[in-house]
Chain A
Amino acid sequence: MGRDDIVVGLEIGTSKICVVVAEDQGDGTIKILGVGQVASRGVRKGEIVDFDTAQQCLHDALVDAEQKSDIEIESVFVGISGSHISSFNSRGIVTIPEEKGEIDEEDIESAKASAKEVSIPAENAFVHQILQHYYVDGRDGVLNPVGIFGSKLEADYHIVHGIRNRIHNTLRCVKEIPLSVEDIVLNGLASAQIVLDQEQKNLGALVLDIGGGTTDYVMYHDGAVRSSGVLAVGGDHITNDISMLLKMPIARAERLKITEGSVILGNSLPGETVALKDETGFAGREIEREKLNTIIHMRMRETFEILKRRLENDSAFGYLGTGLHITGGCSLLKGIDNLAQEVFGMEVTLTHAPAMAGITSAFENPQYSTAIGLVKYAQAVRAEIPAEGVLTRIFNPLKRLFRR
């Protein structure tokens, strides 16, 4: 009860609501104590559309997690997503007065503030301000400028923002449980924390978390986030395409996608069909395999192409040492790595959360990358700011939301 070493991550996803309870072991690792999850309803494209239904599901997931972990959950790190999220890079510049010369914490704070002095749409709020690099008098490679003598401090930040009301909707759903929200985390960023290690971030990597309703992407280069965002297309779209074009109910289309779907074309015999069994086991109709695969292929190819167009203008795009890392439920689609490799022209790894202490084996599945990534992120954040008291920890994110 009220243990300081407990971190809880909450992912309100389009296909499932997942609560991960973990224990911070104090040595930089975490131990998973329990995971509660329920199939999600009332969530579309990563955002809550039916408030009451979603809240009911959230409640069930929390109860499930509390039972499994034997911990009473008080506060959570909430993952957010949705097409309204956008991001950009910004540089803050501070001139150090000559008589002072030495850079201190205060200068860093003002550099941070100055990077934020860009105007985002009035209805938007900042979600993340992630440090990329410091430069002192134009020299890069400065890890910590405190104590260094210089006349100009520059700091590059990656800034993520989204529509305030839509973020608030998710938060309200959590707060009414009632639970307190420690911080909000971009889903893609959370996934990247768990599927990438520091070395991969340094070498450069692009993480695609293709979930049910959204595809979240984060690009790392030189150890820092270069680019991030959300494309509101995910596995749901594939299911919907199948359902519409092959004229079958959503639930069946979903099953067909999971059991038979593939993005590889030309691999099936001419006229090869898939028998689609209905709930009673009765073989209903036959679907041409190539047709099914074409539907999936076209959708995924288009999605990858859109993402590539969004990212390829970044100068770091061609220099991602460890290539593309695909996670999320959709990464289980057969042949998706081949297609991604063809479109992006880089090495592709299908990845998921690595083994860690606790009951993780069941969760070494790409579907849980975000949820487990959230606790990893939470643990990293806590490790960074140990001095922050419980109270500020609760109020800071709220304060940040209201500040523009």
Chain B
Amino acid sequence: MPATKTNDNAMIEINRSLPGASAPIEPIPVKIVGIGGAGSSALDRMLLDGVDATDLVAVNTDVQSLTASVAAQKIQLGNALTHGLGAGGDPEVGMQATEVALPAIHEAIEGAKIVFLVAGLGGGTGSGAAPLIASAARDDGALVIGIVTLPFTFEGRRRGLQARSALDQLRRICHSVIVFENDRMSELIVPKAGIQQAFIQADHCISECIRALLSMVARPGVIKVGIDEVFTALKNRDPQCVFGHGESDGDNRAHEALARALKNPLMERGKLLEEAANVLVYIAGASSLTLAEVEMIMTELNRHIKERTQILLGASIDARLGNKLTVTILSSVGSNPPQEYVPLSLPGRQQPAAEDPVAQSASMPERQIEIIESVVSVVVDEPDLPSKTELPAELIPAEPKSNGASSKKGKEIHQQDLQFENVSRGRFEKSEPTIVEGHDLDVPTILRKGFRV
């Protein structure tokens, strides 16, 4: 009896999902390498978010953090060098440690067609190891996509510069680099949320990005998106990543999913899209995804972008999504077109690229000293300061958190250990935050600009 009525719907659903399930999908071998503390916690998050059929590799200098990782493969960097501690915020230590472990890394990523590198730049392990691992992966003939975070501004100028220089190297080595700026990510979170929550959110965002990229390139699409199109979308000289992901299963799911994707702070409410030259849109749903929905999403999206912008559209059917429809938008904006973009398969270019980080790092120590010295003197030139006026002594910016003595404390320098400034919003605590251009304007301007009164 129950089979007659209640199973009716279920039967249809099973039938529907059959074609998708039975179609032989050649899984593309993928490795996701989480580098350093930030990288491995992103891996943890990915597993929780259900990133599937992929091998996670955790790479870290810090043994404690490595044992806690959920990754299937774990590689410890530079046991002899750091004795199981972290790289102490020094990229050179991170790099030396990685050099020793290169054979193990080669072994772990062997056979992968696509390698995602997830790292938090700015610290020792992330900044030092990521470029080396990237070039190792390229030597193995894999497509290398870097997904990195840049440190919060409040983490200090030096960390920022370390991150920048690592990013420059990565840009030369990787096929493509997606950059999440922590400063912008922090808008994902209500200011009151705990620091734990803040990092979980940031990891979640990265994980969504990888998941979307994976399904784009690995899942057969009705309208196919190739990895080349992902690259096109991300191509820019000094790109600012524009990423939004939204899903919905409501009545008006197409509209809602898009609205959610556009609400992502990395989109600045769709404003950034106006500047983008190429926008990749990826729509996925179960077989109930209709052409009308795709059309509706595209018409709505068209309102946010300029006419000359190229849209790269991908759509795919994924029975696992059930009632859900997901919209992923990926793009980048930058001031200049890319100049020395490494073409996909030019073996000749790989060698110099791989050597670059070494050459760069040779000059690192000198540069760092310079940086530390300039920390205080630069202050006056800060463009945001009131011009032509002397500031009271107390208003001098807070000391950068990671220089001199503190960097010797080793693993305490991990991103996770940093404290947010305890910024409250006073009488606006309970009202809707005024978020403009990525800043919570309810927080006093002075605090946001990094002054102490």
Contact = CB atoms under 8 A, between A and B. Distances in A.
A124 to B, nearest CB: 12
Contact of B428 (A44, A119, A297): A44
Interface string B412-434: 00000000000011111011101
Contacts of A309: 437
Interface in A265-293: 265-266, 288, 290-291
A217 B229 CA distance: 42
B453 A291 contact: yes
A103 interface: no
Given A232-B441, A241-B444, A291-B392, A45 B259 contact: no
A240 B303 contact: no
A230 to B, nearest CB: 10
B379 interface: no
Interface in A233-270: 233, 236-237, 240-241, 243-246, 250, 265-266
B428 A241 contact: no
Contacts of A291: 392, 394-395, 453
Contacts of A243: 426-427
B378 interface: no
Contacts of A122: 252, 255
A361 B436 CA distance: 38
A245 B446 contact: yes
A335 B424 CA distance: 28
A208 B362 CA distance: 55
B453 A246 contact: yes
B340 to A, nearest CB: 32
Interface residues of A, number: 33
B300 interface: yes
A83 interface: yes
B441 A233 contact: yes
A231 interface: yes
B445 interface: yes
A119 to B, nearest CB: 7
A265 B426 CA distance: 25
Contacts of A297: 386
Contacts of B451: 298
A290 B395 CA distance: 11
B431 A240 contact: no
A244 B426 contact: yes
B10 interface: no
Contacts of A250: 426-427
B392 A290 contact: yes
A291 B389 CA distance: 13
B445 A241 contact: yes
B83 interface: no
A40 to B, nearest CB: 14
Contacts of A301: 386, 445
A44 B252 CA distance: 32
A302 interface: yes
A252 B346 CA distance: 68
A298 B427 contact: no
A49 B436 CA distance: 21
Contact of B431 (A49, A231, A241): A49
Contact of B446 (A49, A121, A266, A294): A294
Interface in B328-346: none
A142 interface: no
Nearest to B441: A233
A301 B451 CA distance: 15
Contacts of B425: 240
A380 interface: no
B436 A44 contact: no
Nearest to A243: B426
Contact of B436 (A231, A240, A246, A298): A231
A49 B259 CA distance: 25
B447 interface: yes
A78 B259 CA distance: 30
A404 interface: no
Contacts, number: 88
A294 B392 contact: yes
A237 to B, nearest CB: 7
Contact of A240 (B392, B395, B428): B428
A240 to B, nearest CB: 4
Given A266-B389, A294-B446, A295-B444, A244 B424 contact: yes
Given A250-B427, A265-B386, A295 B255 contact: no
A98 B439 CA distance: 55
Contacts of A294: 386, 391-392, 395, 446, 453
Contacts of A236: 427-428
Contacts of A245: 444, 446-447, 453
A172 interface: no
B183 interface: no
Contacts of A31: none
B412 to A, nearest CB: 30
Contacts of A290: 392
B247 to A, nearest CB: 18
A237 B386 contact: no
A240 B424 CA distance: 11
A59 interface: no
Interface string B285-327: 0000000000000001001000000000000000000000000
Contact of B434 (A233, A295, A298): A233
B5 interface: no
A404 B445 CA distance: 38
B257 to A, nearest CB: 13
A359 interface: no
A233 B432 CA distance: 12
B390 interface: yes
A240 B427 contact: yes
B408 interface: no
Nearest to A288: B392
Nearest to B394: A291
A357 interface: no
B424 A302 contact: no
A301 B428 CA distance: 20
A309 B436 CA distance: 11
A260 B392 CA distance: 18
A68 B105 CA distance: 83
A133 B396 CA distance: 52
Contacts of B386: 265, 294, 297-298, 301
B428 A295 contact: no
A383 interface: no
B55 interface: no
Interface of A: 44-45, 49, 83, 119, 121-122, 231-233, 236-237, 240-241, 243-246, 250, 265-266, 288, 290-291, 294-295, 297-299, 301-302, 306, 309
Given A244-B444, A306-B437, 7 more contacts: A122-B255, A246-B453, A291-B395, A294-B392, A295-B446, A298-B444, A301-B386
Interface of B: 252, 255, 259, 300, 303, 386, 388-392, 394-395, 424-428, 430-432, 434, 436-437, 441-442, 444-447, 449, 451, 453
27 contacts: A44-B428, A49-B430, A122-B252, A231-B436, A237-B428, A240-B425, A240-B426, A241-B444, A241-B445, A244-B444, A245-B444, A245-B447, A250-B427, A265-B389, A266-B388, A266-B390, A291-B392, A291-B394, A294-B391, A295-B444, A295-B445, A295-B453, A298-B386, A298-B444, A298-B449, A301-B386, A302-B441
List the 3 closest pairs (A to B, CB-CB), nearest first: A241-B444, A265-B389, A298-B445
